[in-house]
Structure 1
C-alpha cells in the first residue's frame, strides 16, 4: 500500500455550532460510542488513473465545506464544526496483486466503515484506489455521517459533472448554501418559527402516546447475546400487494408499508396506538435540496391501528407521515428538554425508541405493466425469504426498521433490542407486515376491530 496526499483549498472556513442534522448524528454516536459511516466501492472506467481520482477528490473537497470539516470542542465538551480553508487528504493506493480486485475493494470498504473516524483530527472522508497490474480497477469512498447523508451523495455526483476533466477546474459556481451558513440560518427568526411549530406538534404527540412501546424489560434468562439482532425479510408478494392497496387508497406504497408495520408491531406487543419516529430528509425545504450535509431528522407519527379496515389504517398512516414530514426540522437541544419536561409532568419516562426509515427512491413505486391481481400475490408468497443479517452489541434504539431500495420486492431489515423484543418477535413482526398487506390486497373487507390486530402476531 502507498499513499497520495491530495492538496485542496476552498472558500469558507471557521468554527460554528453544529447544524440540527449534525446534532442528531452526534447524539447517536455518543450513545453507541461508534461513528456512523457510509460509502461504497465502485469499478472505475478503463484508463482511469489514481491521479484522476485525486483530481476528483480535490475538486469536491474544495467545493464542499462538509468534506473539510473536523470537530472542535469547547472547554465544557460542546462540539463545534471546524471548517478548514485548505489542507491535504490521503488517498490510499492498494495493490490487489493476483487477488480479486472487487474482493479487495469490498474489504477496504469494510475496514473503513468499521473504523471510527477521529473526529478532531481526521477528515470525514476516506478514499482508496485498488490497482492490479498497474491499472486502477476500483475506487472506494467512505464518509462520516456527521458530514453527509444519502442524498448528499447524489449532490456530490451531480456536482462532479461540473468539473472540466481536462483542467480539473469548475464549469459552474459551487452550491450557494454550505454547512457554516446553515448553522447561522438555523438561528434566524424564520427557522426558529419552524422549530417552535415542531415543538408544539411534538408536545401534543408526547402527551398522547403510550409511554412504553415495548413493555417491560424481558427476564435476564430470555435475553439474547449479542444483544441487538438484525433480521431481514424479502417479500415479492408484499410488493405486489402494496401496489394493489396503494392504487385502491390513492396513496403511495410508503403509507401502505408504514401502516402494515404499525399493525404488525401492535400485534406483537399488544400496545396501541403505535408511536413511530419517521426519518425525514428535509430536502424539500427552501434552499436545502443540494447542500452536502446531514439533514435527516425524526418526525413523530402516532398511528391508531384499532377499529377499522386496513384502508383506514393506511389513511391514518398517510396523515401521520404528512405531520411527521412537516415537523421534523427542529433544534435537538430544545427537543431533549421538551421530552424531559413532558416525562416529568407525566411521572414516567417517555420512550422514543422505534424508528422507521424508508430508504427507497428508485424502487418506491416501481412496477411495470397493469396492477397485479390477488392470484399473482398468492403465487408470489413461496418466494418470501427471511434472513439473519447480524448480531451486534452496539447500543442502539429498541427497534430500527429499514425499507431497502430493491426493485420488485419489499426488502425489510429490523434491528431489535432483545432485552425488549425477542428474535421470535422480530420474525413475527416481519412476517406480520407481509401477511397484513397480502390479506388487505386479497380481502378488502378485513377489519382491525374487536381486539385485532392487538395480540395477533404474539409469540
Structure 2
C-alpha cells in the first residue's frame, strides 16, 4: 500500500486581492454543478470536474515540483479564486481573488511494483467523487507520485468552476517550464475579473445579445432533433463508447487540410456531419460544439473557465465534401462567435421555444474538440497502437446526447472517441461509422468526394439509414413526428384512453373526447414537460378537449 504524506504550501501573490462579478463561463458551470449535485450517486465521480496527469522532467526533485505549484498559484488569479455564497441551491454572483492562502499536496510514495499511471488514475477517481468547496477550496487537488524519493508523475483534479480544459493545458506548459528550471514571462491573459468586466461592457453586452438571437433563431426554425425514425424510441441516455487511435488517420487528416486549405477541425466536423446526416436521412444537422468560445485572440492565454456551447447548423445538401468543409468552416466561425451568453436567459429562451413550438431541443449530435487542451508532451508519451486503426470498447456511460465525438489528438496519432445511443447505432454500426469516418478523411486528402443521393456515402459507410415506415409519420415544420407514438404519449400524460391525433390544414391537432379536465394551456404545458428525449414527438398545435378548444399557447 502506498505511503502518503500531506504537504501544505502557502502562497502570497504580488497582485492585490480583488472582488467582482462572475464571468459568463463561471456562471454556466456553477449552474451545471448545482444541477449535478442532487443526482450524483455516492462514490460516483463528477462529470464536470476534470482530471489530468502531468509528467515531470528529468532532474526535477520534490522541492522544485512543490515550488512550481506555489509559483502557479501566485501567478494566476483563477487559482486564488473562490465564490462567496456558493453552495446548495445558491448561485454566487461574485468571485473573490485572494492575495494569499494555502493548499495541500498529497505526496504519494509508490510501492516498488506499483504502476504510476494506475495510481494516478485511482487518485483522480477518488478525488472527483467529492465536490469542491467553492467558497474556500483551492481549485486543484494534487497528488505527487514518487518512487525512491524522486517525483515521477503529478495527478491533478481540476475544479471546472475556475479552470477549463484549455486553461489546464496552459498551466501544464508552465509547469513543465518551471520544473525544468526555466523562468516565465508575466502572465499574458486577462484575469477572470477582467473577463467579467469586459463581458459587462457595452461591446460585451452587444455580443451577448447577438449570441442569444443566434440561438433563438435556430431553436425556432431548425430541427429540434436530428434523429427521428422507426428505431428512435428510448428516452434513456446510456451510450456505448468506442475509442479510435490511428497514426494513418493523422497523416490523412494532414493531407486533407493541405488539399482543402482548411482547418483540421473543419475537415473532421464536416466528415462527422456528413455521416450523421446520412444515418438520420435528413440534410440538416444541428450540432452542439463544446469548448467553443476561445475564438477571440484576447482570450487565447486566459487562465479561467470559458465553458459554454456553440450551436452550429450544417446543411449537408451539397454536391461534394469540399463544399461541405467550406460551409462548416464558415458555420463554425459563426457558432463560436455566438458562444458567449447569459445562461439564465438562454435557458428561458429554451423553455419559451419548447412551449411555443411544442418541441424540446435535444443535443442529438455533439462535437467536443479538446485536441488543443491535451499537451503534445503528454500525448506523445503513448506508444503507437499495435493495429492501425486501433478500435477499443469502453464501458457504457450516461450522456445527454444521441451521438457524440470527442477529438483528443490530431497530430502524430489521430485519437477520437465515439459515443452512440443504441437507437442510433448499435455496437457493430458504431464500428462501421468509425471506419467510414476514417475512410472519408483519407479520401478528402486525395480528392473531392461526391455527396447527395447519387454520391459515395452509402457505399462508403455501410451504415443504416433512418426509415419512417412503422408509424404515421408527418413532417411538421422541420421536425418529423410519429402521430401514433404521439397519441400513445398523450394517453399517458393526460391519463385518458381516447385520443386522436390528426394533421389537417397544416395543423397538428389532438382530440380528447372524455376524461380530461385540463384546459388546452394546462394540457399543452404537461405534454411539453413530458417530451424530454422523445425525439419523434411534438406537442399538438391545437387541442380539442372536454374543457374547451384552443392552441394551448395562450
1:310 correspondence with 2:314: no
1:410 correspondence with 2:414: yes
Determine if contact 2:143/2:156 at 8 Å carries over to the other structure: yes
After superposition, give the CA deviation of every residue in 1:338-371 in whole Å (9 maximum; x if it has no partner): 222333332221223432122334999xxxxxxx
From 105, 118, 121, the equivalent of 1:91 is 105
Residues of 2 paired with 1:278 and 1:341: CA distance? 22
Q: 1:3: Cα distance to partner?
A: 0.8
After superposition, give the CA deviation of every residue in 1:146-172 in whole Å (9 maximum; x if it has no partner): 221232234435656897999x9x975
SS in 1 for 2:84: strand
Q: 1:211: Cα distance to partner?
A: 1.0
1:5 correspondence with 2:5: no
Residues of 1 paired with 2:260 and 2:446: CA distance? 14
Q: 1:258: Cα distance to partner?
A: 0.8
2:497 matched to which residue of 1? none
Residues of 1 paired with 2:83 and 2:423: CA distance? 34
SS in 1 for 2:259: helix
Q: 1:413: Cα distance to partner?
A: 0.6
Unaligned residue ranges in structure 1 (runs of 5+): 365-381
2:371 matched to which residue of 1? 360
Larger deviation, residues 153-162 vs 334-343: 153-162
Q: 1:248 to 1:135 in 2, by over 3 A?
A: closer
Q: 1:101 to 1:445 in 2, by over 3 A?
A: closer
SS in 2 for 1:8: strand
Determine if contact 2:65/2:179 at 8 Å carries over to the other structure: no
1:137 matched to which residue of 2? 152
Larger RCO: 1 or 2 (CA < 8 Å, sep 6+): 1
Residues of 2 paired with 1:243 and 1:164: CA distance? 33
Q: 1:6: Cα distance to partner?
A: 0.8
SS in 2 for 1:148: coil
From 27, 30, 33, the equivalent of 1:26 is 30
What does 1:110-121 align with in structure 2 at a 5 Å threshold?
110-113=125-128, 115-121=130-136
Root-mean-square deviation (CA), in Å?
3.5
Q: 1:281 to 1:12 in 2, by over 3 A?
A: farther
Residues of 2 paired with 1:255 and 1:77: CA distance? 39
2:76 matched to which residue of 1? 64
Determine if contact 1:41/1:138 at 8 Å carries over to the other structure: yes
Structure number with bigger Rg: 2
1:248 correspondence with 2:253: no
Residues of 1 paired with 2:442 and 2:134: CA distance? 46
Q: 1:411: Cα distance to partner?
A: 2.3
Aligned length: 435
What does 1:41-440 align with in structure 2 at a 5 Å threshold?
41-46=54-59, 48-49=61-62, 51-73=63-85, 77-80=90-93, 81-100=95-114, 102-103=116-117, 104-113=119-128, 115-157=130-172, 173-175=186-188, 177-215=190-228, 218-219=232-233, 227-285=238-296, 287-361=298-372, 383-393=388-398, 395-418=399-422, 422-440=426-444
Larger deviation, residues 182-191 vs 234-243: 234-243
Residues of 2 paired with 1:98 and 1:449: CA distance? 61
TM normalised by structure 2 equals: 0.69
Q: 1:53 to 1:428 in 2, by over 3 A?
A: same
SS in 2 for 1:128: strand
Unaligned residue ranges in structure 2 (runs of 5+): 38-45, 376-386, 466-554
